[in-house]
Structure 1
Amino acid sequence: MEHLSTYLTPEIKLSCYEDKFFKSDVVFDQHMLIWFISGETKIIQAETTHVFKAGDIFLIPRNKPSTIINYPKDGLPHKTVVMLLTTPILRDFYRNQSVHVTIHPNPTIQSFTNHPLLESCLTSLIPYFQLQDPFPASLASLKITEAISILRTIDPTIDRVLANFDDPYKVELIRFMEQNYQFNMPLEKFGYLTGRSLTTFKRDFRKAFNTTPQRWLTQKRLELAHYQLAEKKQKPIDVCYEAGFENLSHFSYAFKKHFGYTPSSLR
């Protein structure tokens, strides 16, 4: 896979995937504002699946498990402008605002496609990626502040997401795992997102499920894969990644070992 990122600052980059396909299970530490130039992305979260293409603009909230699948399209690479709305930047912004809101406990991806102000703000960054000189930090700060201000103009409720600086709190473990088992994350990340240390996560998991996290995760992912193959008639390659497996060969091996037949035999 050939991936090229051109950075104006650590918070603003032009990202380009030239290859046919890229997949990752991630939890972003910061909010990400993304403008699509070309290509297509499928983002799978616990609540729903989103598909974005050229011209789309959307915000991915931090601390949300996601499966990201990027594709080139129409002979063009997967190319996006990405702006990180980091916690320090947002703290500094809201320090000068009089905001009293109820924090959104479980925000989802928000789409702002075809809004002229936001598109103009992000489009204006493109020429700077061609320059050899360093991008002035003061100008970067202005651009990010502009984007935040536009988001607040478009959606007055966005403060419920952007002004939330809390770490994940301790949540009910069974419900969280049933909603998020398909995301292939380290156990440390599952622990963090449920408000637990790794040791406490493993201890609480054993009490809740009477097995180890890895065994339970594999079982659940295989059951999901079987349903998608048998009932939804999806392709093994799509099921493999959407059910939380790293590659097709590992998925096929685990599937056959568990069920006694190959994924392709269900199609």
Structure 2
Amino acid sequence: MASLKNKTGILYSCYHKKSSEGEHFIPNHTFGYVISGSSETFIGGQKFIFGDGEFRFFRRNQLAKYTKYPPQGGEYKSISIIFDQDTLKSVSAEYDLHSLKPDGNILGLKLEPKRLLLNYIESLKPYLDNANDKSLTNLKVKEAILILLQTNPELKNILFDFTEPGKIDLEAYMNEHYKFNVDINRFAYLTGRSLATFKRDFEKIYGTSPNRWIQQKRLEDAHYLLKEKGWKSSDVYMEVGFKDFSHFSFAFKKAYGITPSKL
């Protein structure tokens, strides 16, 4: 994989592998364009598929799993423009733009390939090779915001919603997201709680600490995949949320009295 990113929010990605899988936290609204290949992204129980020549938008503060597929004999290539909160607040103040009716239901969107958007992507090419001029690139990010508002005016209520995540159903959220490799502070933030409140609410629901519950859930999933589905231990650990195989193997043996490779 090769990527080029500057500090003001333009990212060019190129994947040479057969396919690339992973997960990430989306801290800022992201506008993107697939140059070649295709991608699948899972967010909040929804699946988003994008092919070459298609535009995408993902809202901020989300956990996502993705798979990126290069075309046959080629490379997966994409461009992403990251809209950080400071830039959006600057545009909001300059153009008197505000979110009138925040919409938390839109997690991601496939945008129509309108001419304004296509022309904008074409104009980015010089910046991908010369990403050192922060002031010029920052202008391109602001330009992207204004073009999106012109082509997709409904995004105004998302882009200029500066509120932090509100308190949501912790049990439902954790049951859906426990496999993500994020720390407890992140889970607390995304469920609208302080760390102390998150831990207190968690123990009321599950009767144990977040870390213990998350590890147990991952081990139960691993045991099922190994015994019932015949997965290899080397494939299971990342699937269920462990970053390190040795940690997974140690935890599995402690819980079940046998190493995962011998189950």
Shorter chain as denominator, the TM-score bin is 0.7 to 0.9
After TM superposition, the structure 1 stretch with the greater mean CA deviation from structure 2, 242-251 or 68-77, is: 242-251
- What is the aligned-residue RMSD (CA, Å)? 3.4
Given candidates 39, 46, 49, the residue that maps to 2:47 is 49
Between the aligned partners of 1:104 and 1:22, the Cα distance in structure 2 is: 31
Equivalent in the alignment of 1:170: 167
After TM superposition, the structure 1 stretch with the greater mean CA deviation from structure 2, 234-243 or 57-66, is: 234-243
Equivalent in the alignment of 1:190: 187
Equivalent in the alignment of 1:103: 102
Given candidates 204, 207, 213, the residue that maps to 1:207 is 204
CA, structure 1 residues 203+40, in 2 after alignment: closer, same or farther (shift >3 Å)?
A: same
CA, structure 1 residues 215+255, in 2 after alignment: closer, same or farther (shift >3 Å)?
A: same
| Residue identity in the other structure for 2:55 | I
Q: State, as a whole percentage, how many aligned pairs show the same letter.
A: 33
Equivalenced residues, count:
260
**8 A Cα contact 2:127 2:137, kept in partner:** no
Between the aligned partners of 2:225 and 2:96, the Cα distance in structure 1 is: 47
Equivalent in the alignment of 2:73: 75
Equivalent in the alignment of 2:126: 127
Deviations 1:115-168 (A, max 9, x none): 33212212221133234x84361x334322332222223322211210111122
Secondary structure, in 3 states, of the residue corresponding to 1:214?
helix
Secondary structure, in 3 states, of the residue corresponding to 1:13?
strand
Equivalent in the alignment of 1:155: 152
Any stretches of 5+ residues in structure 1 without a counterpart?
Answer: none
Q: TM-score, normalised by structure 1?
A: 0.78
How far off is 1:242 after superposition? 5.2
Any stretches of 5+ residues in structure 2 without a counterpart?
Answer: none
**8 A Cα contact 2:50 2:110, kept in partner:** no
| Residue identity in the other structure for 1:174 | E
CA, structure 1 residues 123+228, in 2 after alignment: closer, same or farther (shift >3 Å)?
A: farther
**8 A Cα contact 2:27 2:61, kept in partner:** yes
Given candidates 18, 27, 33, the residue that maps to 2:31 is 33
**8 A Cα contact 1:56 1:114, kept in partner:** yes
Please tell me whether residue 60 in structure 1 is matched to residue 49 in structure 2.
Answer: no
How far off is 1:12 after superposition? 1.2
Please tell me whether residue 7 in structure 1 is matched to residue 1 in structure 2.
Answer: no
| Residue identity in the other structure for 1:125 | L
Secondary structure, in 3 states, of the residue corresponding to 1:124?
helix
How far off is 1:56 after superposition? 2.1
Q: TM-score, normalised by structure 2?
A: 0.80
Between the aligned partners of 1:186 and 1:168, the Cα distance in structure 2 is: 17
**8 A Cα contact 2:6 2:132, kept in partner:** yes
| Residue identity in the other structure for 1:28 | I
Secondary structure, in 3 states, of the residue corresponding to 2:26?
coil
Deviations 1:175-208 (A, max 9, x none): 2212322322111110111222333322221111
